[in-house]
Amino acid sequence: MVKVRAYEKRDFVDYVTVLEKTTRWKKNAASMLTSRLEKIKKGEQVWVAEVDTRGVGFMILAPNNDDSLEVDWLDVHPDFQRLGIGTLLLKKAISVAKAKKKQALSIHTWESNKKMLGFAYKNGFEKYERIKNFYGKRKDAIRLK
Q: What is the pLDDT of residue 141?
A: 92
Measured CA to CA, the distance from residue 117 to residue 67 in angstroms comes to 23
Measured CA to CA, the distance from residue 71 to residue 35 in angstroms comes to 18
Give Dmax (Cα) for the chain.
Answer: 42
Structural domain boundaries, residue 15: 2-144
CATH of the domain at 79: 3.40.630.30
Sequence-distant (≥ 6) Cβ neighbours of residue 85 within 8 angstroms: 2, 49, 51, 56, 57, 76
The answer to whether 62 touches 72, Cβ cutoff 8 Å, is: yes
Residue type, 103: Q
Model pTM above 0.75 = yes
Q: What is the pLDDT of residue 135?
A: 87
What band does 120 get if pLDDT is binned at 50, 70 and 90?
very high
pLDDT (tens digit per residue) in 40-93: 988 899 999 999 999 999 999 999 888 899 999 999 999 999 999 999 999 999
Among the listed residues 81, 25, 34, 20, the one whose alpha carbon sits nearest the alpha carbon of residue 56: 81
Residue type, 135: Y
Q: What is the DSSP string of 88-137?
A: HHHHHHHHHHHHTT-SEEEEEEETT-HHHHHHHHHTT--EEEEETTTTST
Q: What is the pLDDT of residue 65?
A: 85
Q: What is the pLDDT of residue 8?
A: 98
Among the listed residues 34, 38, 81, 35, the one whose alpha carbon sits nearest the alpha carbon of residue 57: 81
Counted domains in the chain: 1
Across 13-36, average pLDDT: 96
Q: What is the pLDDT of residue 7?
A: 98
Q: What is the pLDDT of residue 145?
A: 92
The answer to whether 86 touches 121, Cβ cutoff 8 Å, is: no
pLDDT (tens digit per residue) in 121-139: 999 999 999 999 988 888 8
Residue 98 has pLDDT above 90, yes or no: yes
Q: What is the pLDDT of residue 49?
A: 99
